[in-house]
């Protein structure tokens, strides 16, 4: 994947790379009345990747997933899944795709295992000879082996989420599309799902994960896309998304006010100290931060200017913007970093 871009997917990956993509959309749009839920989306998801689909609530993530799975008709644009056009090839493609979307729905008075048996029997491409084995294996993989005979109405929210994951795993899939897969799970369950996603990717599957949890994306994903108000704002590898963000200097000094004057003269705006106090407070060691824009001097030159102005530099470093910084920069909204 090249550097992140909000441009067209064929420009991001090249037209000849279509076969290497598990998901590819071009100008994909969905309108509800006068509102554009998804607008001109060009998404490129490499095969074999763990792809994080990020964005605040209402940014168009679930609507996009529903279109990819044939659950909602697009207003415009094109899309392909596993190299086949959708929704026209849904009959052939969907048996190769496992999905968990918007919270699973089950028969409440049937057991978890009985629910999966019914769902698997209704699927056109499943093998009845291996049905019981596959379902028991999927239940064990998500930690529900001991609860398989309980009625679903007795399941907690986290257990129902696990059952939905088990349904997505009842057959070997080339692509897993998971919408908020750790919703309702406790920290241990969240760690187990992260491990499961990693093992699926190692086995060769592509995993497409929609989430608002920064830690989830950073720990399991190789690539990501950031959505905002129905628009694709950036996509690429996690490293490229962070590298595309601004550099920031971190200065430790007792001369915060004087340091602020120097930084402003160099075209930078000092930020509030890490302890929440104004960076201009005197008489104590303060942390002063400022973004280093493209027109700013080099870090070496900044330090030289600070020393020349008589600023006592206790510490100086340059830090790369994090994925969270990049998200906030693009969307203007914060990320939930933990439950």
**How many CB atoms sit inside 10 A of residue 121's CB?**
10
Question: Domain with 201 in it: what CATH number?
Answer: 3.40.50.300
Start-to-end CA distance of the chain, whole Å, equals 31
Indicate whether 157 and 286 sit together in one domain.
no
Question: Is residue 328 in some structural domain?
Answer: no
Domain end point (choices 223, 243, 263): 243
Question: Is residue 159 in some structural domain?
Answer: yes
Question: Which token pair is 171?
Answer: 């057959």
Domain end point (choices 188, 221, 243): 243
Question: Is residue 178 in some structural domain?
Answer: yes
Question: Is residue 325 in some structural domain?
Answer: no
Q: What is this structure's pTM?
A: 0.74
Question: Is residue 211 in some structural domain?
Answer: yes
Indicate whether 174 and 276 sit together in one domain.
no
Indicate whether 148 and 235 sit together in one domain.
yes
DSSP code at position 130: G
Indicate whether 151 and 87 sit together in one domain.
yes
* Helix 187-202 / helix 157-168 crossing angle, nearest 10 deg: 10
Indicate whether 156 and 280 sit together in one domain.
no
Indicate whether 203 and 302 sit together in one domain.
no
What confidence score (pLDDT) does residue 176 get? 94
Question: Which token pair is 230?
Answer: 């129905």
Closest CA to 221 of 44, 51, 100: 51
Question: Is residue 335 in some structural domain?
Answer: no
The range of the structural domain enclosing residue 279 comes to 247-320
Indicate whether 158 and 288 sit together in one domain.
no
Question: Domain with 300 in it: what CATH number?
Answer: 3.30.70.100
**Ramachandran area for residue 64 (φ above 0: left; ψ -120 to 50: alpha; else beta):** alpha
What confidence score (pLDDT) does residue 96 get? 92
Helix (H, G, I), strand (E, B) or coil at 291: strand
Question: Is residue 331 in some structural domain?
Answer: no
Count up the domains in the chain and report the number.
2
Indicate whether 206 and 274 sit together in one domain.
no
3-state per-residue secondary structure call for 17-67: HHHHEEEEEEEEEEEECCEEEEEEECCEEECCCEEEEECCCCCCHHHHHHH
Indicate whether 95 and 235 sit together in one domain.
yes
Cβ–Cβ < 8 Å for 51, 225: yes
Question: Is residue 339 in some structural domain?
Answer: no
What confidence score (pLDDT) does residue 52 get? 93
Domain end point (choices 210, 243, 276): 243
Indicate whether 68 and 201 sit together in one domain.
yes
Indicate whether 189 and 288 sit together in one domain.
no
Strand pairing of 50-54 and 223-228? parallel
CA-to-CA distance for 77 and 27, rounded, in angstroms?
4
Indicate whether 199 and 305 sit together in one domain.
no
- 10-residue mean pLDDT profile of the chain (339 residues): values are 43 56 95 91 94 88 93 94 92 91 84 94 88 94 91 90 90 91 82 85 91 77 90 88 73 88 88 49 75 82 91 85 68 50
Question: Which token pair is 186?
Answer: 């406790």
Cβ–Cβ < 8 Å for 131, 117: yes
């Amino acid at each position: 994947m090249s550097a992140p871009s909000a441009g067209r997917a064929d420009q991001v990956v090249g037209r000849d790379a279509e076969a290497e993509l598990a998901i590819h959309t071009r100008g994909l749009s969905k309108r509800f009345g006068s509102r554009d839920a998804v607008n001109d989306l060009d998404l490129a998801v490499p095969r074999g990747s763990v792809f994080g689909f990020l964005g605040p609530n209402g940014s168009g993530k679930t609507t996009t997933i529903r279109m990819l799975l044939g659950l909602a008709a697009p207003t415009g644009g094109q899309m392909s899944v596993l190299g086949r056009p959708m929704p026209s090839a849904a009959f052939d493609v969907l048996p190769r795709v496992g999905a968990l979307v918007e919270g699973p729905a089950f028969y409440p008075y049937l057991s978890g295992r009985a629910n999966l048996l019914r769902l698997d029997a209704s699927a056109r491409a499943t093998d009845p000879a291996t049905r019981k084995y596959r379902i028991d294996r999927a239940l064990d993989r998500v930690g529900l082996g001991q609860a398989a005979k309980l009625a679903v109405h007795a399941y907690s929210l986290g257990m129902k989420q696990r059952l939905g994951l088990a349904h997505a795993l009842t057959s070997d899939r080339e692509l897993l599309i998971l919408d908020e897969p750790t919703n309702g799970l406790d920290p241990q369950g969240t760690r187990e799902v992260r491990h499961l996603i990693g093992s699926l990717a190692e086995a060769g599957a592509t995993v497409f994960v929609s989430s608002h949890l920064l830690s989830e994306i950073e720990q399991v994903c190789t690539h990501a896309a950031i959505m905002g108000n129905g628009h694709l704002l950036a996509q690429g590898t996690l490293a490229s998304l962070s590298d595309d963000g601004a550099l920031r200097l971190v200065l430790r000094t007792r001369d915060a006010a004087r340091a602020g004057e120097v930084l402003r003269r160099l075209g930078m705006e000092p930020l509030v100290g890490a302890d929440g106090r104004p960076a201009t407070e005197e008489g104590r060691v303060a942390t002063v931060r400022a973004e280093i824009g493209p027109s700013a001097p080099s870090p070496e030159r900044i330090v030289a200017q600070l020393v020349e102005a008589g600023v006592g530099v206790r510490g100086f470093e340059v830090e790369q913007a994090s994925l969270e910084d990049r998200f906030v920069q693009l969307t203007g909204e914060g990320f939930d970093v933990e439950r």
